[in-house]
């Protein structure tokens, strides 16, 4: 399977690691949209949130549990935004489930 983020997980493509545990990997976005822009991914390949079910949701729960710890380590005590893009209308460009953490400045009120 040809997946960019799986290649990052395997170390075939370098990345700026921010956090790692047995289930989760987080690294800096190559094209940051905010002073802090971190991508948080499950080590299990899921193409997007569309593939999450009750049976595999544990992989996602580890990601969600890691996010506040990553945000705190990044100094985002004033707040941050978490986004996951899904599919064409969501402008998802990498088909491995990932959550963007954006922060380090006052973010806009609009999300579209």
Binding site for ligand DGP (CB under 6 A): 4, 13, 15, 27-31, 39, 85, 91-94
Instruction: State in angstroms the smallest separation of the CB of 94 from ligand DGP.
Output: 4
Catalytic status, residue 45: no
Phi, psi (deg, nearest 5) at residue 68: -65, -30
CB of 13 to ligand DGP, least distance (A): 6
Whether 38 and 27 have beta carbons less than 8 Å apart is answered as yes
Which strands, in side-by-side order, build the sheet including 24-28?
17-20, 24-28, 36-42, 99-103, 80-83
Choose between 39 and 71: whose C-beta lies nearer to ligand DGP: 39
The single residue listed with the structure tokens 């971190």 is 38
Q: Which is nearer to ligand DGP, 29 or 51 (CB)?
A: 29
Catalytic positions, written as ranges: 98
């Amino acid at each position: 399977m040809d997946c960019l983020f799986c290649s990052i997980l395997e170390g075939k493509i370098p990345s700026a690691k921010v956090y790692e545990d047995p289930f989760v990997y987080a690294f800096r976005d190559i094209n940051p949209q905010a002073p802090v822009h971190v991508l948080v991914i499950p080590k299990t390949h899921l193409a997007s949130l569309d593939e999450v079910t009750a049976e595999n949701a544990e992989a996602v729960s580890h990601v969600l549990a890691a996010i506040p710890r990553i945000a705190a380590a990044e100094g985002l005590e004033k707040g941050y935004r978490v986004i996951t893009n899904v599919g064409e209308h969501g402008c998802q460009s990498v088909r491995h489930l990932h959550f963007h953490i954006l922060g380090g400045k006052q973010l806009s009120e609009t999300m579209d």
